[in-house]
Structure 1
Amino acid sequence: MSDGATPLGEKTTVRETTPDLAPTDCARKLLAAVRADDSPDPYLERLAAYDEAALEPLRSDPDLALAFWSNCYNAGTQLLLSRRPELYESPLRFFRFFRATAVTVAGTDLSLDAIEHGIVRGSRTKYGLGYLPRLLAGRFERRYRLADPDPRVHFALNCGAASCPAIRAYEADRIDEQLDRATRAYLDATVDHDPEAGVVTVPKLFRWYRGDFGGGSGIRDLLREYGAIPDDASPRLRHRDWDWSRAAGKFAD
């Protein structure tokens, strides 16, 4: 067993398994249970049972919030893939899978879209290339959305596709270092620079969320920062096709 999780089939109560467990620890242990194929149910129940007072630190500490919501998202993805795989395989994946309840936090059902675009990206729609706001945000989203989203989160969130980045467990006191590592690893694996042609091929998420990175110039700045292109290069951007093949369990070593 791993991280105190309980094997499938054994009954346990939230109080017995998760006494006084902080929300951030609960989200991390949930992800660990999913990875170890232990029962996630005690942690899911604990997340659902928190009141908003318990979540208050997430509103004032962006590092705490980013670690918490990233772990919730990645655990929620894996749970949906294992428990409701037909949603991912559906031709209507973008409605059925990404809008299905992935986790419940403080009594509020949250989909992957709600976590990513409503909270982590600070209420930005997924259809506006990163430039348009997400309309009709609910009270929970308004309370917990990040005021200054970190674009590196795109290299931390795994939606179940083969082209997604690997899954890591994020911790508030190490989040900057961990996001740096995740970003560098993903760019090393997916970016190809052809200096003779003056072209750099990048993952399609750079097109989908162009505005999150500050447009073309911001994308090139990020590529230079992480050594994907030389400091003096300014290549044209070409976007690699996204492989939507279902790829559950893509955890980093």
Structure 2
Amino acid sequence: MNFLINYFRKLLLLLALSIVFTAYANDKKSQQILTSSEVEKVDLFQLSKNFYDAVKNDSSAEKYIQQLEKIAKNNLEKELTNDTKKKAFWLNIYNTYIQYLLKKNPDLYQDRSAFFKDERFTIAGEKMSLDDVEHGMIRDSRVKLSYGHLKDPFASKFEKKFRVSEVDWRIHFALNCGAKSCPPVTFYKVESLDTQLEKSAKAYLKREVKFNKNKVYVPRLMNWFRADFGGKDGVIKILKSYELIPKNSDPGVEFLDYNWELDLENYS
């Protein structure tokens, strides 16, 4: 009798171990499938263009959002190899997500502070906010309210790895935050980024800047991010380079009001 009891005990133990092992093996297999899918080669810039086009044309963007969420970090590492590529990618991600989020729910704009600082999307498994993209990735981890003078010492490893290495002041005339005073939305291409940024900056400043003898009125962006522009001297130098003020002038600088009225679909 004891023999049969021991036998059935061993049988039940083996059965239990078999069930546990099978479940573990299936779980590992599932993880392997997920990993294989994540590391699949994806053209990062074509993906961002597909996302941009879908949002611009009011088509379904969910497929591209999911691909951006699951793309492997080593895919980003292989493609975002210099500042030009990083600027183009993150500019397009920022501008497209602004349009996507606000067209889906315009009420988000009622609390702009929360809209920009709260995590609202995922790139390569990393939850991100619009502020993370603008001030972290595109402005080399500058502290938002420091006028561009301070660099964030607590930036994440992800941010440090995929941010630009130098601040390009022209990005302020390429980023569209959804407001009426923003520059129009454009898809930025790696191969023509410098030309596009020059065109965007010149067009925006030509539209906004007003010169009157001893004073020049410039966009408030140039005050909020003054260190990015090199302070007052840098602003004057930029205006002279675009022939918006006389070469021999030294005017006082005044900052124009910013119109925060929501203005979507402002594509160039």
Distance (Å, rounded) in 1 between the aligned partners of 2:127 and 2:50: 19
> Which has the higher mean CA deviation after the structures are superposed, 135-144 or 147-156?
135-144
Partner amino acid, structure 2, of 1:32: D
Runs of 4+ in 1 over 6 A off after TM superposition: none
* Aligned pair partner of 1:215 in 231, 234, 251: 231
1:191 aligns with 2:209: yes
Cross-structure match for 2:262 = 246
Deviation at 1:84, TM superposition (A): 2.8
RMSD: 1.4
1:5-84 pair list within 5 angstroms: 21-84=42-105
In the TM superposition, what whole-angstrom CA distance separates every residue of 1:42-71 from its partner, at most 9, and x where no partner exists?
Answer: 111111111011101454221111110000
Answer yes or no: is the 8 Å Cα contact 1:28–1:170 preserved in 2: no
Deviation at 1:100, TM superposition (A): 2.9
Give the secondary-structure state (helix, strand or coil) at the position aligned to 2:117.
coil
TM-score scaled by length of structure 2: 0.82
Change (3 A) 1:135 1:244: farther
Distance (Å, rounded) in 1 between the aligned partners of 2:65 and 2:248: 48
Answer yes or no: is the 8 Å Cα contact 2:215–2:253 preserved in 1: yes
1:106-125 pair list within 5 angstroms: 106-125=124-143
Deviation at 1:102, TM superposition (A): 4.0
1:180 aligns with 2:198: yes
Answer yes or no: is the 8 Å Cα contact 2:44–2:79 preserved in 1: no
1:152 aligns with 2:173: no
In the TM superposition, what whole-angstrom CA distance separates every residue of 1:195-220 from its partner, at most 9, and x where no partner exists?
Answer: 2xx11101101000000011111111
Change (3 A) 1:137 1:206: same
Cross-structure match for 1:104 = 122
Answer yes or no: is the 8 Å Cα contact 2:42–2:71 preserved in 1: no
More helix by share: 2
> Which has the higher mean CA deviation after the structures are superposed, 50-59 or 239-248?
50-59
Give the secondary-structure state (helix, strand or coil) at the position aligned to 1:104.
strand
Partner amino acid, structure 2, of 1:27: S
In the TM superposition, what whole-angstrom CA distance separates every residue of 1:122-175 from its partner, at most 9, and x where no partner exists?
Answer: 010110111112242112111111111211000000011111111100000100
Give the secondary-structure state (helix, strand or coil) at the position aligned to 1:60.
coil
Q: Percent identity?
A: 35
Matched residue count:
229
In the TM superposition, what whole-angstrom CA distance separates every residue of 1:2-45 from its partner, at most 9, and x where no partner exists?
Answer: xxxxxxxxxxxxxxxxx954112211221121111111111111
Distance (Å, rounded) in 2 between the aligned partners of 1:43 and 1:203: 34
The structure number with the bigger radius of gyration is 2
Distance (Å, rounded) in 2 between the aligned partners of 1:221 and 1:163: 23
In the TM superposition, what whole-angstrom CA distance separates every residue of 1:86-129 from its partner, at most 9, and x where no partner exists?
Answer: 22113xx21x1002334321011211100000110001011011
> Which has the higher mean CA deviation after the structures are superposed, 130-139 or 157-166?
130-139
Give 5+ residue unaligned stretches, structure 2. 1-39
